[in-house]
Amino acid sequence: MITLKEALKLPKEELPHLKQDLKKRIEEKKELNAYISLDESGDGVPILIKDNIQVKNWSVTSASKILQGYISPYDATVITKLRENGLAPFGRANMDEFAMGSSTETSYYGKTLNPHDYERVPGGSSGGSASAVGGGVAIASLGSDTGGSIRQPASFCGVVGMKPTYGRVSRYGLSAYGSSLDQIGPITQNVEDSAILYDIISGYDPKDSTSADIEYSPITPNLNPNQKYRIAVIDNYVKDASTEIQQAYEKTIRTLEKLGHTIIHKEMTDAKYDISAYYITAMAEASSNLARYDGIRYGSRVEGENLKDTYFRTRSEGFGDEVKRRILVGNFVLSSGYYDAYYVKAQKVRYLIQQKYSEIFQDADLILSPVSPTLPFKFGEKKEPLDMYLSDIYTISVNLAGLPAISLPVDWVGNLPVGLQLIGKPFDELNLFNGALSLEQGLK
Ligand code: GLN
């Protein structure tokens, strides 16, 4: 598949041909179920958009039944920026319902397959985005990452997934899940494409009150794979990963050393606290954010006997089980009597995690960490919600701390890819991309 960098250089008259070719590929690999729908009307390099990002006049549903029939009246800021830079939204990517999940099994549109093994999950929640890029049916894609949803599917599908610093990319037009955690980011075939797409979508946006009003200089012209870094490895983290992941991790450390980087050893808060702090925070925020889906303002409605009954029926029939579970738990942890015990405590843990990261970054420029504790798992393998949640142990602390991180493929076990992530200091995306570029080149 042509890279984003190459596609952006194509003369305009080549674009229809490119779209035709892409359509043919999508048709040939229809079984992946990575696309929910296609839209060829855009004028630019075709790019796949996760189904929770607003595109004007598109059906945008967060892969939920409750949003069937909703047509977006506006473009998200990232979409406006894509259009201004020669790209055009080409299709809606499948995802876990409301971005809640790590396997894309909870989508109302059915599961997406892993392009490298059809019996395994592509990861989630941006599973459609990653599967399409990994399966050669998208040039690049936008995903969203609340607790790993860009990085983990990227690692499961053998592609590059990047989560920007919280506040770097506008959330205007991203359906809110956990508002203090959500970021939109690129899923691409390589690190350079990731930087190109990141540059396009980044920057201050007055329409998002959490957007960072700080100076932004483009990464791409300043990329330098020869820069040497102090890279921290978190010794107490890796013990929870499977043997295959640990081996890939060790191998990558040796590669980084050969490239001239300095490895330093650090400890982090036990990842079990991340899980509790993250899921309490994310569910609390989700329960509040999803209150807007009442059958009156958006999407589908099931008429009841009175207003309250309409709310009740619409929400009972419109939301899937996982979404309901999270709304229930979220309301519980915010309820009077439990608020201090759960929500407030989770915020204290969140603060400690942030502190721990800043301590590590006093001695290190970047951190190397696994993305997933296991290789891509099989469909149906994680039936217990907690088992599914535990597959996020390596990604969620990054969101709790608001840091930028990039997942890139470092190895293969049989036909299954292994991705690892580099984590950077807040707003230090340039060094993050440089480190990733160095590693990518060193692995060739
Ligand atoms: N798997 C995590 C969750 O279910 C992360 C999802 C995401 O980043 N959107 O909350």
Domain count, the chain: 1
Q: For 332-336, what is the mean pLDDT?
A: 96
Q: Which residue's CA is the closest to the ligand 1 atom numbered 5?
A: 147
147 close to 163: Cβ distance less than 8 angstroms: no
125 is catalytic: yes
- Of ligand 1's listed atoms, the one at least distance from the Cα of 148 is 8
The Å distance, Cα 126 to ligand 1 centre, comes to: 9
Q: Which amino acid is at 324?
A: K
Is pTM beyond 0.95? Reply is yes
Residue 375 located in a structural domain: yes
Please, what is the average pLDDT of the chain? 97
Question: What pLDDT sits at residue 270?
Answer: 85
Model pLDDT, residue 271: 85
pLDDT (mean) for 334-357: 96
Residue 78: give its domain's CATH number. Answer: 3.90.1300.10
- The domain containing residue 63 runs over which residues? 4-268+355-442
State the catalytic residue, choosing from 141, 149, 372, 397.
149
Q: What is the structure's pLDDT at 301? A: 95
Question: Is residue 272 over pLDDT 90?
Answer: no
Structural domain includes residue 261: yes
pLDDT, tens digit, 9 for 90 and up, residues 221-262 = 999 999 999 999 998 989 889 999 999 999 999 999 999 999
Q: Who lines ligand 1 at CB under 6 A? A: 99-102, 125, 145-149, 177, 282, 392
260 CA from centroid of ligand 1 (Å) = 35
Q: What is the pLDDT of residue 269?
A: 85
In a domain, 349, yes or no: no
pLDDT at residue 216 greater than cutoff 90: no
> Ligand 1 atom closest to Cα of 101?
4
Report if residue 194 sits inside a domain. yes
The C-alpha atoms of residue 88 and residue 427 are separated, in whole angstroms, by 27
pLDDT digits (tens, 9 = 90+) for 22-52: 999 999 999 999 999 999 999 999 999 999 9
Q: How confident is the model at residue 43, as a pLDDT?
A: 92
Q: How far apart are CA 344 and CA 232, in angstroms?
A: 30
Residue 324 lies in a domain: no
Is 149 in the active site? Answer: yes
By the 8 A CB rule, do 248 and 420 touch?
A: yes
Give me the count of residues in the chain: 444
**What are the strands of the beta sheet with 405-413, ordered from one edge?**
35-38, 87-93, 45-50, 140-145, 183-188, 160-163, 405-413, 416-424, 366-370, 230-234, 262-266
395 in a structural domain: yes
pLDDT (tens digit per residue) in 383-433: 999 999 999 999 999 999 999 999 999 999 999 999 999 999 999 999 999
Predicted confidence band of residue 215 (pLDDT cuts 50, 70, 90) = confident
Looking at the domain assignment, is residue 223 inside a domain?
A: yes
Average pLDDT over residues 271-287: 95
In a domain, 184, yes or no: yes
